[in-house]
Amino acid sequence: MSDSPAPLADPHIAFDPAEGRRDIVVLGSTGSIGTQAIDLVLRNPDRFRVTALSAAGGRAGLLAEQAYRLRVRTVAVAREDAVPALRDALKEAYGSEPMPEILAGPDAATQLAASDCHTVLNGITGSIGLAPTLAALEAGRTLALANKESLIVGGPLVKAVAKPGQIIPVDSEHAALFQALAAGTRADVRKLVVTASGGPFRGRTRAELANVTREDALAHPTWAMGPVITVNSATLVNKGLEVIEAHLLYDIPFERIEVVVHPQSYVHSMVEFTDGSTLAQATPPDMRGPIAIGLGWPERVPDAAPAFDWSTASTWEFFPLDTEAFPSVGLARHVGELGGTAPAVFNAANEECVDAFLAGRLPFTGIMDTVTEVVAEHGTPAPGTSLTVADVLEAETWARARAQELAAKAAGTTAEVRA
Protein backbone atom coordinates (compact mmCIF):
# COMPACT_ATOMS: atom_id res chain seq x y z
CA MET A 1 0.00 0.00 0.00
CA SER A 2 1.19 3.55 -0.60
CA ASP A 3 1.45 6.07 2.19
CA SER A 4 -1.42 8.28 1.02
CA PRO A 5 -4.04 8.92 3.74
CA ALA A 6 -6.97 7.88 1.56
CA PRO A 7 -7.69 6.92 -2.07
CA LEU A 8 -7.69 9.74 -4.59
CA ALA A 9 -11.01 8.46 -5.93
CA ASP A 10 -13.36 7.55 -3.09
CA PRO A 11 -17.11 7.02 -3.64
CA HIS A 12 -17.65 7.26 0.13
CA ILE A 13 -16.62 10.92 0.31
CA ALA A 14 -19.66 13.03 1.19
CA PHE A 15 -20.85 15.31 -1.62
CA ASP A 16 -23.78 17.67 -1.35
CA PRO A 17 -26.37 16.54 -3.92
CA ALA A 18 -28.57 19.58 -3.25
CA GLU A 19 -26.10 22.19 -4.42
CA GLY A 20 -28.04 23.20 -7.53
CA ARG A 21 -26.78 23.38 -11.08
CA ARG A 22 -23.07 22.69 -11.42
CA ASP A 23 -20.75 24.90 -13.42
CA ILE A 24 -18.42 22.79 -15.57
CA VAL A 25 -15.20 23.57 -17.43
CA VAL A 26 -14.56 21.14 -20.30
CA LEU A 27 -10.95 20.65 -21.39
CA GLY A 28 -10.57 18.88 -24.73
CA SER A 29 -14.08 19.82 -25.81
CA THR A 30 -13.75 18.85 -29.49
CA GLY A 31 -12.45 15.34 -28.74
CA SER A 32 -14.47 12.20 -28.12
CA ILE A 33 -14.92 12.72 -24.36
CA GLY A 34 -15.60 16.42 -24.74
CA THR A 35 -18.26 16.10 -27.43
CA GLN A 36 -20.10 13.40 -25.48
CA ALA A 37 -19.92 15.47 -22.30
CA ILE A 38 -21.43 18.43 -24.10
CA ASP A 39 -24.21 16.21 -25.43
CA LEU A 40 -24.94 15.18 -21.83
CA VAL A 41 -24.93 18.78 -20.61
CA LEU A 42 -27.24 19.98 -23.37
CA ARG A 43 -29.71 17.21 -22.45
CA ASN A 44 -29.56 18.18 -18.77
CA PRO A 45 -29.56 22.01 -18.59
CA ASP A 46 -31.15 21.93 -15.14
CA ARG A 47 -28.15 20.00 -13.74
CA PHE A 48 -25.12 21.38 -15.57
CA ARG A 49 -23.85 24.58 -17.16
CA VAL A 50 -20.58 24.78 -19.09
CA THR A 51 -18.74 28.03 -18.40
CA ALA A 52 -15.56 27.49 -20.43
CA LEU A 53 -14.13 25.26 -23.17
CA SER A 54 -10.62 24.41 -24.29
CA ALA A 55 -9.33 22.53 -27.32
CA ALA A 56 -6.12 22.10 -29.28
CA GLY A 57 -7.38 24.42 -32.02
CA GLY A 58 -7.63 22.22 -35.09
CA ARG A 59 -11.46 22.20 -35.20
CA ALA A 60 -12.29 25.87 -34.89
CA GLY A 61 -15.75 25.55 -36.42
CA LEU A 62 -16.85 22.86 -33.97
CA LEU A 63 -15.37 24.75 -31.01
CA ALA A 64 -17.23 27.92 -32.01
CA GLU A 65 -20.47 25.97 -32.43
CA GLN A 66 -20.05 24.45 -28.97
CA ALA A 67 -19.31 27.85 -27.44
CA TYR A 68 -22.43 29.37 -28.98
CA ARG A 69 -24.78 26.52 -28.02
CA LEU A 70 -23.50 26.55 -24.44
CA ARG A 71 -23.07 30.35 -24.18
CA VAL A 72 -19.73 29.97 -22.44
CA ARG A 73 -17.75 32.83 -20.96
CA THR A 74 -14.33 31.73 -22.22
CA VAL A 75 -12.86 29.66 -25.05
CA ALA A 76 -9.23 28.54 -25.08
CA VAL A 77 -6.98 27.00 -27.71
CA ALA A 78 -3.51 25.55 -27.20
CA ARG A 79 -2.29 26.70 -30.61
CA GLU A 80 -1.93 30.46 -30.92
CA ASP A 81 -1.98 30.19 -34.71
CA ALA A 82 -5.55 28.85 -34.43
CA VAL A 83 -6.90 32.13 -33.02
CA PRO A 84 -7.73 33.84 -36.36
CA ALA A 85 -9.75 30.86 -37.58
CA LEU A 86 -11.46 30.57 -34.20
CA ARG A 87 -12.31 34.28 -34.14
CA ASP A 88 -13.81 34.04 -37.64
CA ALA A 89 -15.83 30.98 -36.66
CA LEU A 90 -17.11 32.69 -33.52
CA LYS A 91 -18.13 35.78 -35.51
CA GLU A 92 -20.09 33.56 -37.87
CA ALA A 93 -21.77 31.71 -34.99
CA TYR A 94 -22.53 34.73 -32.79
CA GLY A 95 -23.34 37.33 -35.41
CA SER A 96 -24.02 40.59 -33.59
CA GLU A 97 -24.13 38.95 -30.15
CA PRO A 98 -21.23 39.43 -27.72
CA MET A 99 -18.54 36.79 -28.19
CA PRO A 100 -16.73 34.91 -25.40
CA GLU A 101 -13.23 35.74 -24.21
CA ILE A 102 -10.47 33.94 -26.13
CA LEU A 103 -7.36 32.53 -24.44
CA ALA A 104 -4.51 31.01 -26.43
CA GLY A 105 -1.22 29.28 -25.84
CA PRO A 106 0.14 26.15 -24.15
CA ASP A 107 -0.98 27.38 -20.70
CA ALA A 108 -4.52 28.35 -21.71
CA ALA A 109 -6.13 25.08 -20.58
CA THR A 110 -4.24 25.26 -17.29
CA GLN A 111 -5.59 28.75 -16.73
CA LEU A 112 -9.15 27.55 -17.38
CA ALA A 113 -8.68 24.59 -15.03
CA ALA A 114 -8.17 26.99 -12.13
CA SER A 115 -11.12 29.23 -13.06
CA ASP A 116 -14.29 29.59 -11.00
CA CYS A 117 -16.40 26.45 -11.42
CA HIS A 118 -17.56 23.33 -9.58
CA THR A 119 -16.04 20.60 -11.76
CA VAL A 120 -13.25 20.46 -14.32
CA LEU A 121 -13.61 17.67 -16.89
CA ASN A 122 -10.11 16.92 -18.17
CA GLY A 123 -10.66 15.20 -21.51
CA ILE A 124 -7.28 16.20 -22.97
CA THR A 125 -5.30 13.38 -24.57
CA GLY A 126 -1.66 12.94 -23.58
CA SER A 127 0.68 14.05 -20.83
CA ILE A 128 0.02 17.71 -21.64
CA GLY A 129 -3.03 17.19 -19.43
CA LEU A 130 -0.86 17.04 -16.28
CA ALA A 131 -0.56 20.80 -15.73
CA PRO A 132 -4.35 21.39 -15.99
CA THR A 133 -4.95 18.47 -13.62
CA LEU A 134 -2.63 19.96 -11.02
CA ALA A 135 -4.16 23.43 -11.49
CA ALA A 136 -7.71 22.15 -10.98
CA LEU A 137 -6.75 20.23 -7.85
CA GLU A 138 -4.77 23.10 -6.37
CA ALA A 139 -7.75 25.40 -6.97
CA GLY A 140 -9.99 23.01 -5.03
CA ARG A 141 -12.13 21.96 -7.98
CA THR A 142 -13.70 18.53 -8.31
CA LEU A 143 -11.75 16.84 -11.10
CA ALA A 144 -13.60 14.53 -13.49
CA LEU A 145 -10.54 12.82 -14.90
CA ALA A 146 -10.47 11.24 -18.34
CA ASN A 147 -6.82 12.18 -18.92
CA LYS A 148 -5.16 9.06 -17.52
CA GLU A 149 -1.71 10.34 -18.46
CA SER A 150 -1.95 12.89 -15.63
CA LEU A 151 -1.69 10.06 -13.13
CA ILE A 152 0.65 7.90 -15.19
CA VAL A 153 3.39 10.50 -15.64
CA GLY A 154 2.80 12.56 -12.51
CA GLY A 155 1.29 10.22 -9.94
CA PRO A 156 3.27 11.47 -6.92
CA LEU A 157 2.68 15.09 -7.97
CA VAL A 158 -1.07 14.52 -8.22
CA LYS A 159 -1.21 12.62 -4.92
CA ALA A 160 0.65 15.44 -3.20
CA VAL A 161 -2.01 18.06 -4.02
CA ALA A 162 -5.26 16.09 -4.32
CA LYS A 163 -7.59 15.93 -1.36
CA PRO A 164 -9.14 12.51 -0.59
CA GLY A 165 -11.98 11.88 -3.02
CA GLN A 166 -11.34 15.05 -5.05
CA ILE A 167 -10.91 13.02 -8.25
CA ILE A 168 -13.81 11.23 -9.92
CA PRO A 169 -12.58 8.95 -12.72
CA VAL A 170 -14.19 9.07 -16.17
CA ASP A 171 -12.48 6.08 -17.81
CA SER A 172 -15.12 3.37 -18.14
CA GLU A 173 -12.99 0.89 -16.17
CA HIS A 174 -12.23 3.24 -13.30
CA ALA A 175 -15.75 4.59 -13.16
CA ALA A 176 -16.86 0.97 -12.83
CA LEU A 177 -14.42 0.32 -9.98
CA PHE A 178 -15.49 3.59 -8.36
CA GLN A 179 -19.14 2.50 -8.32
CA ALA A 180 -18.45 -1.08 -7.20
CA LEU A 181 -16.20 0.12 -4.38
CA ALA A 182 -19.16 2.03 -2.93
CA ALA A 183 -20.55 -1.34 -1.78
CA GLY A 184 -17.84 -1.97 0.82
CA THR A 185 -15.09 -0.44 2.90
CA ARG A 186 -11.49 -0.25 1.80
CA ALA A 187 -10.61 -3.08 4.19
CA ASP A 188 -13.22 -5.29 2.49
CA VAL A 189 -11.44 -5.21 -0.88
CA ARG A 190 -9.46 -8.28 -1.89
CA LYS A 191 -8.83 -7.55 -5.56
CA LEU A 192 -9.61 -5.14 -8.40
CA VAL A 193 -10.38 -6.83 -11.72
CA VAL A 194 -9.93 -4.59 -14.76
CA THR A 195 -11.60 -5.88 -17.91
CA ALA A 196 -10.17 -5.61 -21.43
CA SER A 197 -12.00 -6.21 -24.69
CA GLY A 198 -8.83 -7.80 -26.06
CA GLY A 199 -8.92 -5.38 -28.99
CA PRO A 200 -9.03 -6.43 -32.63
CA PHE A 201 -6.27 -9.03 -32.21
CA ARG A 202 -7.64 -11.13 -29.37
CA GLY A 203 -6.59 -14.75 -29.80
CA ARG A 204 -3.68 -14.04 -32.14
CA THR A 205 -0.17 -15.18 -31.33
CA ARG A 206 2.80 -12.84 -31.35
CA ALA A 207 3.92 -14.29 -34.69
CA GLU A 208 0.50 -13.53 -36.17
CA LEU A 209 0.78 -9.90 -35.03
CA ALA A 210 3.98 -9.19 -36.94
CA ASN A 211 2.32 -8.06 -40.17
CA VAL A 212 -0.93 -6.45 -39.02
CA THR A 213 -1.69 -3.14 -40.70
CA ARG A 214 -2.71 0.29 -39.51
CA GLU A 215 -6.26 -0.40 -40.71
CA ASP A 216 -6.33 -3.69 -38.80
CA ALA A 217 -5.26 -2.01 -35.57
CA LEU A 218 -7.80 0.81 -35.91
CA ALA A 219 -10.74 -1.61 -36.33
CA HIS A 220 -11.70 -1.87 -32.65
CA PRO A 221 -14.56 -4.35 -32.18
CA THR A 222 -16.57 -2.50 -29.52
CA TRP A 223 -15.41 1.11 -28.96
CA ALA A 224 -15.14 4.14 -31.27
CA MET A 225 -12.09 6.14 -30.14
CA GLY A 226 -9.28 8.29 -31.48
CA PRO A 227 -6.40 6.59 -33.36
CA VAL A 228 -3.82 6.70 -30.53
CA ILE A 229 -6.19 5.23 -27.93
CA THR A 230 -7.42 2.64 -30.44
CA VAL A 231 -3.87 1.45 -31.15
CA ASN A 232 -3.19 1.42 -27.41
CA SER A 233 -6.19 -0.85 -27.05
CA ALA A 234 -4.83 -3.12 -29.79
CA THR A 235 -1.46 -3.47 -28.01
CA LEU A 236 -3.21 -3.48 -24.61
CA VAL A 237 -0.94 -0.61 -23.51
CA ASN A 238 -4.17 1.14 -22.60
CA LYS A 239 -4.89 -1.65 -20.12
CA GLY A 240 -1.40 -1.40 -18.68
CA LEU A 241 -1.88 2.32 -18.12
CA GLU A 242 -5.21 1.58 -16.44
CA VAL A 243 -3.52 -0.83 -14.01
CA ILE A 244 -1.14 1.94 -12.95
CA GLU A 245 -4.05 4.38 -12.72
CA ALA A 246 -6.11 1.97 -10.59
CA HIS A 247 -3.17 1.55 -8.20
CA LEU A 248 -2.87 5.32 -7.80
CA LEU A 249 -6.59 6.10 -7.61
CA TYR A 250 -7.61 3.39 -5.15
CA ASP A 251 -4.35 2.77 -3.28
CA ILE A 252 -4.44 -0.97 -4.01
CA PRO A 253 -1.11 -2.82 -4.48
CA PHE A 254 -0.24 -4.01 -7.99
CA GLU A 255 -0.37 -7.67 -6.99
CA ARG A 256 -4.06 -7.21 -6.15
CA ILE A 257 -4.99 -5.70 -9.53
CA GLU A 258 -5.83 -8.27 -12.22
CA VAL A 259 -6.63 -7.91 -15.93
CA VAL A 260 -9.13 -10.25 -17.58
CA VAL A 261 -10.27 -10.27 -21.22
CA HIS A 262 -14.00 -9.69 -21.78
CA PRO A 263 -14.69 -9.33 -25.53
CA GLN A 264 -18.24 -7.97 -25.25
CA SER A 265 -17.15 -4.90 -23.19
CA TYR A 266 -20.34 -5.10 -21.14
CA VAL A 267 -18.67 -5.54 -17.75
CA HIS A 268 -16.37 -2.56 -17.37
CA SER A 269 -14.54 -3.80 -14.27
CA MET A 270 -15.13 -5.73 -11.06
CA VAL A 271 -14.25 -5.62 -7.37
CA GLU A 272 -13.69 -8.85 -5.46
CA PHE A 273 -14.34 -8.54 -1.72
CA THR A 274 -12.87 -10.54 1.14
CA ASP A 275 -16.08 -12.54 1.68
CA GLY A 276 -15.72 -14.07 -1.80
CA SER A 277 -18.34 -11.93 -3.52
CA THR A 278 -17.57 -10.00 -6.69
CA LEU A 279 -19.45 -6.91 -7.83
CA ALA A 280 -19.41 -6.09 -11.54
CA GLN A 281 -20.53 -2.81 -13.10
CA ALA A 282 -22.11 -3.40 -16.49
CA THR A 283 -23.63 -1.26 -19.25
CA PRO A 284 -23.56 -1.38 -23.04
CA PRO A 285 -20.36 0.26 -24.36
CA ASP A 286 -21.05 4.01 -24.19
CA MET A 287 -18.84 6.66 -22.58
CA ARG A 288 -21.73 8.93 -21.64
CA GLY A 289 -22.39 6.76 -18.59
CA PRO A 290 -18.92 7.24 -17.06
CA ILE A 291 -19.01 10.92 -18.00
CA ALA A 292 -22.31 11.31 -16.15
CA ILE A 293 -20.74 9.72 -13.05
CA GLY A 294 -17.84 12.16 -13.30
CA LEU A 295 -20.07 15.20 -13.60
CA GLY A 296 -23.00 14.25 -11.39
CA TRP A 297 -21.80 12.03 -8.54
CA PRO A 298 -23.28 11.14 -6.07
CA GLU A 299 -26.47 11.64 -8.08
CA ARG A 300 -27.28 9.57 -11.15
CA VAL A 301 -28.19 11.35 -14.38
CA PRO A 302 -31.35 9.71 -15.76
CA ASP A 303 -31.00 8.23 -19.26
CA ALA A 304 -27.36 9.31 -19.51
CA ALA A 305 -26.62 6.24 -21.64
CA PRO A 306 -28.49 3.24 -23.06
CA ALA A 307 -29.41 0.32 -20.77
CA PHE A 308 -29.48 -3.39 -21.55
CA ASP A 309 -32.46 -5.02 -23.18
CA TRP A 310 -32.83 -7.98 -20.83
CA SER A 311 -35.49 -9.57 -23.05
CA THR A 312 -32.76 -10.36 -25.61
CA ALA A 313 -30.40 -13.30 -25.08
CA SER A 314 -26.71 -12.53 -24.86
CA THR A 315 -23.46 -14.27 -23.95
CA TRP A 316 -20.76 -12.74 -21.76
CA GLU A 317 -17.30 -14.30 -21.95
CA PHE A 318 -14.13 -13.94 -19.86
CA PHE A 319 -10.62 -15.15 -20.76
CA PRO A 320 -7.18 -14.93 -19.15
CA LEU A 321 -4.74 -12.40 -20.60
CA ASP A 322 -2.17 -13.76 -23.08
CA THR A 323 0.95 -12.14 -21.64
CA GLU A 324 3.25 -13.50 -24.37
CA ALA A 325 1.34 -11.92 -27.25
CA PHE A 326 0.56 -8.80 -25.21
CA PRO A 327 3.47 -8.03 -22.85
CA SER A 328 2.38 -4.42 -22.33
CA VAL A 329 0.44 -5.03 -19.10
CA GLY A 330 3.40 -6.73 -17.45
CA LEU A 331 5.73 -3.93 -18.52
CA ALA A 332 3.28 -1.35 -17.18
CA ARG A 333 3.22 -3.12 -13.81
CA HIS A 334 7.01 -3.06 -13.81
CA VAL A 335 7.30 0.69 -14.47
CA GLY A 336 4.49 1.38 -12.00
CA GLU A 337 6.40 -0.46 -9.30
CA LEU A 338 9.62 1.36 -10.24
CA GLY A 339 7.86 4.70 -9.89
CA GLY A 340 9.68 7.98 -10.33
CA THR A 341 9.96 8.95 -13.98
CA ALA A 342 9.68 5.35 -15.25
CA PRO A 343 5.92 5.59 -16.02
CA ALA A 344 6.51 8.87 -17.87
CA VAL A 345 9.22 7.22 -19.97
CA PHE A 346 6.91 4.27 -20.73
CA ASN A 347 4.06 6.55 -21.77
CA ALA A 348 6.15 8.96 -23.86
CA ALA A 349 8.02 6.20 -25.67
CA ASN A 350 4.72 4.48 -26.45
CA GLU A 351 3.20 7.66 -27.88
CA GLU A 352 6.17 8.07 -30.23
CA CYS A 353 6.06 4.42 -31.28
CA VAL A 354 2.32 4.58 -31.96
CA ASP A 355 2.91 7.65 -34.15
CA ALA A 356 5.63 5.74 -36.02
CA PHE A 357 3.33 2.74 -36.51
CA LEU A 358 0.46 4.89 -37.77
CA ALA A 359 2.86 6.57 -40.20
CA GLY A 360 4.07 3.19 -41.47
CA ARG A 361 7.58 3.53 -40.02
CA LEU A 362 7.33 0.76 -37.41
CA PRO A 363 5.68 -2.67 -37.42
CA PHE A 364 2.97 -3.39 -34.87
CA THR A 365 5.14 -5.67 -32.73
CA GLY A 366 7.87 -3.03 -32.93
CA ILE A 367 5.79 -0.75 -30.71
CA MET A 368 6.25 -2.79 -27.55
CA ASP A 369 9.73 -4.00 -28.52
CA THR A 370 10.89 -0.40 -28.77
CA VAL A 371 9.11 0.76 -25.63
CA THR A 372 10.65 -2.13 -23.70
CA GLU A 373 14.13 -1.15 -24.88
CA VAL A 374 13.61 2.51 -23.94
CA VAL A 375 12.38 1.55 -20.47
CA ALA A 376 15.38 -0.75 -19.98
CA GLU A 377 17.81 1.99 -21.02
CA HIS A 378 16.16 4.44 -18.63
CA GLY A 379 16.98 2.14 -15.74
CA THR A 380 15.76 2.19 -12.15
CA PRO A 381 15.02 5.56 -10.49
CA ALA A 382 17.05 6.39 -7.42
CA PRO A 383 15.11 5.38 -4.28
CA GLY A 384 13.58 8.17 -2.24
CA THR A 385 14.03 10.75 -4.97
CA SER A 386 11.20 13.29 -5.01
CA LEU A 387 9.54 13.91 -8.36
CA THR A 388 9.13 17.35 -9.95
CA VAL A 389 7.35 18.54 -13.09
CA ALA A 390 10.77 19.35 -14.55
CA ASP A 391 11.86 15.76 -13.94
CA VAL A 392 8.81 14.47 -15.80
CA LEU A 393 9.36 16.79 -18.76
CA GLU A 394 13.07 15.93 -18.98
CA ALA A 395 12.34 12.19 -18.85
CA GLU A 396 9.64 12.49 -21.50
CA THR A 397 11.91 14.48 -23.81
CA TRP A 398 14.64 11.87 -23.53
CA ALA A 399 12.20 8.98 -24.00
CA ARG A 400 10.62 10.52 -27.09
CA ALA A 401 13.99 11.20 -28.69
CA ARG A 402 15.30 7.72 -27.90
CA ALA A 403 12.11 6.04 -29.14
CA GLN A 404 12.37 7.99 -32.39
CA GLU A 405 15.99 6.89 -32.82
CA LEU A 406 15.18 3.25 -32.20
CA ALA A 407 12.10 3.35 -34.44
CA ALA A 408 14.14 4.89 -37.27
CA LYS A 409 16.81 2.21 -36.79
CA ALA A 410 14.15 -0.51 -36.89
CA ALA A 411 12.65 0.99 -40.04
CA GLY A 412 16.06 1.02 -41.70
CA THR A 413 16.69 -2.58 -40.76
CA THR A 414 13.30 -3.62 -42.12
CA ALA A 415 13.98 -1.80 -45.37
CA GLU A 416 17.35 -3.55 -45.74
CA VAL A 417 15.73 -6.96 -45.15
CA ARG A 418 13.06 -6.27 -47.75
CA ALA A 419 15.68 -5.10 -50.24
Binding-site residues for NADPH, in ranges, read 30-33, 56, 147, 149, 226
Rounded Cα distance between 240 and 329, Å, is: 4
Name the binding residues: 30-33, 56, 147-149, 171-173, 197, 220, 226, 233, 238-239, 242
Minimal CA–CA distance to 255: which of 316, 336, 163, 319?
336
Task: Give the containing element (helix H, strand E) for 117.
Answer: none
Whether the bond into 383 is cis, omega within 30 of 0: no
* Spatial contact of 150 and 170, defined as CB atoms under 8 Å apart: no
- CA max distance for the chain: 69
Rounded Cα distance between 251 and 25, Å, is: 27
Three-class SS state of 302 = coil
* Spatial contact of 372 and 235, defined as CB atoms under 8 Å apart: no
- Residue 386 DSSP symbol: P
Minimal CA–CA distance to 37: which of 159, 141, 152, 147?
147
Rounded Cα distance between 200 and 207, Å, is: 15
CA angle 123, 171, 75 (to 5 degrees): 10
Name the binding residues for Mn(2+): 171, 173, 242
Q: Which amino acid is at 211?
A: N
Name the binding residues for 1-deoxy-D-xylulose 5-phosphate: 148, 172-173, 197, 220, 233, 238-239, 242
Minimal CA–CA distance to 108: which of 91, 86, 89, 93?
86
Rounded Cα distance between 379 and 184, Å, is: 39
